Chain A
Amino acid sequence: MTEPLASSPMVIADRVVKSFGSHTVLKDISLTVNRGEVVCVIGPSGSGKSTFLRCINHLEKLDGGRLTVDGELIGYRQRGDKIYELKPKEAAAQRKDIGMVFQRFNLFPHLTVLENIMEAPLQVKRQSRASASARALELLARVGLAEKAKAYPASLSGGQQQRVAIARALAMDPKLMLFDEPTSALDPELVGEVLDVMKQLAKDGMTMIVVTHEMGFAREVADSLVFMDGGVVVERGDPREVLTNPQQDRTKSFLSKVL
């Protein structure tokens, strides 16, 4: 395998198909995300946005097409024209470079904030406690929660929990961050603090795919906006362009309901 070029795309989805039983959620998704690019994905619920995101780090197995991250085929290995399933260990190794933030935060409630962030670096990357802890504190400061290191997640607000979840994902030094409706479970007044952290992350050059309903964030931060519906990419373009002047009827009708 050749070393991927610095200018090569981070994510290439090529005709991705995913079904649950007889229900095909992703019909035919092709999408390229370049390094440092922030892509926001919008669409009605059930359109396959979250499933697509979960396919990128192989939380869901693809049924068709190819998906590569940083030039590496996700979940499978190709030799000649044969495709082999990866061993669980190899799939785990691919995931450690892809950070993910969930709608429901999914912090580990039995661990403190600091321990939450240190867990994967200690267990997966076998870092020393000292360096994992130093890095965790640095990340906590970055998301503005340095004083909460010893708190348990249950004592934090939703917005604080989501910022910790972002720090936890960043602790693995991912090359790509996936956000699955990161602000949808938050009280309206807490949305801003999470979006601010994400904006800063985008400014620092992180490649991000964000499934969101925050059109303001998409307009301001995204390099590219994708509208998905019925398991296909209906429209993609510059966010201001798509939001103000959608080309497709389905995009128009969706935006007229949410804007």
Chain B
Amino acid sequence: METTGPSGQPERIVAIPLRHPVRNVVAVVIILIVVLFVVDAAFFRPAYDWPAVGKYIFDVRVSQAALVTIELTVLAMVGAIVLGTLLAVMRLSPNPVLKSVAWAYLWIFRGTPVYVQLVFWGLLATIYKTISVGVPFSSDVLFSWTTQDAISVFWLAVIGLALNEAAYMAEIVRAGMLSVDPGQSEASTALGMSWSQTMRRIIIPQSMRVIIPPTGNEVISMLKTTSLVTAVPLSTDLYTRTRDISAETFNPIPLLIVASIWYLFFTSLLMIGQYFLERRFARGSRFVDVGPGVENPAVLVGATPTAPVAAQPDTSTEGRSS
């Protein structure tokens, strides 16, 4: 066979692409099943009650409840990430006291169901009727509140969710920090950086790449776990609200669909956010997942003239002023 082309260059291979006949058949079958299911659900199943779905999806009571669910999710996750990082650092610290405290926290908060914990938080005011600030070893009381007035049900739910989630976040953060090459902390120690500087400036930023994907999972999971706050009892979140409405209308199925659509909408938003966050923390690393269906996922992020895809050298350094 001739391997030299007309111009003297090596001849290009022009091959017939490999066919995937089974793949196509399976795809057609799946599409047919989905179409049949959708048509059936749309026209032949009155229990879905689509007009009611349309009526309630943008009902003010529902959208307000959706907002409460988002607030719960964001506040609980922020608390959980901060506390979880602290716990992870404590577990990895050389200090045996901090280590044991973190271990005991994880033991308790991971070892009991979140539902039970939420019920406990709801009963806080029963167990501790007042919160007082006083002078130790004396009877002087400077401030005193009844617990019920001091902490609303909403904040009890946030605290309950955050403290539970912190235990899981701690393990995620710890795994992320352990994934960083020990040579990194050695190098920064050798430069005279303290343990906390090493953690803050070198280890935690690098562990973000490993921490973000499971944390995205946790945020999505938290969004759905907020449906348990009825245990506190908080009744203004999305799921509890839609259930309360359906208790009046005796028509639960459309409201379940309404709640599901809202949850799915928020989850989709979170997935988009996660994608951009992952890109940001992939700075300086070789491999970035650039999304589904992209042929060549190996993209060198950072400043290099030989990068196969223009990775905009300067955008990757912007916003880092500290």
Task: Name A residues whose Cβ lies closer than 8 Å to a Cβ of B.
Answer: 57, 59, 88-89, 92-93, 95-100, 102, 104, 106-112, 115, 119-120, 123-124, 150-155, 165, 168-169, 172
Contact = CB atoms under 8 A, between A and B. Distances in A.
B285 A109 contact: yes
Interface string B103-126: 000000000000000000000000
A93 B300 CA distance: 37
Contact of A152 (B189, B190, B284, B320): B284
Interface residues of B, number: 35
Interface string B281-316: 101111000000000000011111011000001101
B187 A102 contact: yes
A151 B303 contact: yes
Interface of B: 181, 183-184, 186-195, 197, 201-202, 205-206, 281, 283-286, 300-304, 306-307, 313-314, 316-317, 320
Given A124-B197, A152-B284, A154-B284, 10 more contacts: A59-B186, A88-B195, A107-B187, A110-B284, A124-B193, A151-B302, A152-B316, A155-B306, A165-B187, A172-B191
Nearest to A116: B187
Contact of A123 (B189, B197, B205, B316): B197
A112 B314 CA distance: 11
A93 B181 CA distance: 24
Q: Give chain B's interface secondary structure class.
A: loop
Nearest to B302: A152
Contacts of B303: 112, 150-152, 155
**10 shortest A-B CB distances, which residue pairs?**
A96-B192, A152-B302, A106-B187, A155-B304, A152-B284, A120-B191, A106-B183, A100-B190, A95-B192, A124-B192
A152 B304 contact: yes
Contacts of B300: 154-155
B194 A92 contact: yes
A102 B285 contact: no
Contacts of B195: 88
Given A151-B302, A154-B302, A155-B300, A172 B285 contact: no
